[in-house]
Amino acid sequence: MKNFVDENFELNEVQKLEGHTDRVWGLAWKPAAGIDGVPAVLASCSGDKTVRIWEQSPATGCFQCKAVLEDTHTRTVRSCAWSPSGKYLATASFDATTAIWEDAGGDFSCVATLEGHENEVKSVSWNASGSLLATCGRDKSVWIWEVLPHNEFDCISVLQGHTQDVKMVQWHPSVNILISCSYDNSIKVWAEDGDSDDWHCVQTLNQSNSGHTSTVWALSFNASGDKMVTCSDDLTIKIWGCDIIRMQSGDGNAPWMHISTLSGYHDRTIFSIHWSRDGIICSGAADDAMRFFIESKDDLVDGPYYKLIYKKEKAHEMDINAVQWSSLENNRLASASDDGTIKIWEFISAPGKKMHL
Name the residue ranges covered by the structural domains of the chain. Answer: 25-160
pLDDT-derived band at 206, boundaries 50, 70, 90? very high
Given a cut of 50, whether residue 61 has pLDDT beyond it is yes
Given a cut of 90, whether residue 351 has pLDDT beyond it is no
Ranking 2-6, 257-261, 293-297, 335-339 by mean pLDDT, the lowest is 2-6
Mean pLDDT for the stretch of residues 195-223: 93
The pLDDT value given to residue 325: 97
* Residue 302: Cβ within 10 Å count: 7
The pLDDT value given to residue 109: 97
The pLDDT value given to residue 302: 64
Q: What's the CA gap between 337 and 315, in Å, rounded? A: 9
Give the DSSP H/E element, type plus range, for residue 248: helix 244-248
**What pTM was computed for the model?**
0.94
Q: Which fold has domain 25-160?
A: Methylamine Dehydrogenase; Chain H (2.130.10)
Give the type of residue at 234: D
The pLDDT value given to residue 357: 44
Given a cut of 60, whether residue 100 has pLDDT beyond it is yes
Total residues found in the chain within this entry? 357
Nearest to 288 by CA among 315, 322, 261: 315
Given a cut of 90, whether residue 33 has pLDDT beyond it is no
Strand bridging mode 187-192 / 199-205:
antiparallel
The pLDDT value given to residue 6: 52
Nearest to 22 by CA among 326, 227, 321: 321
The pLDDT value given to residue 355: 46
Average pLDDT for the chain: 93
CA distances from 181 to 8, 154, 162 (A): 33, 23, 9
The pLDDT value given to residue 298: 67
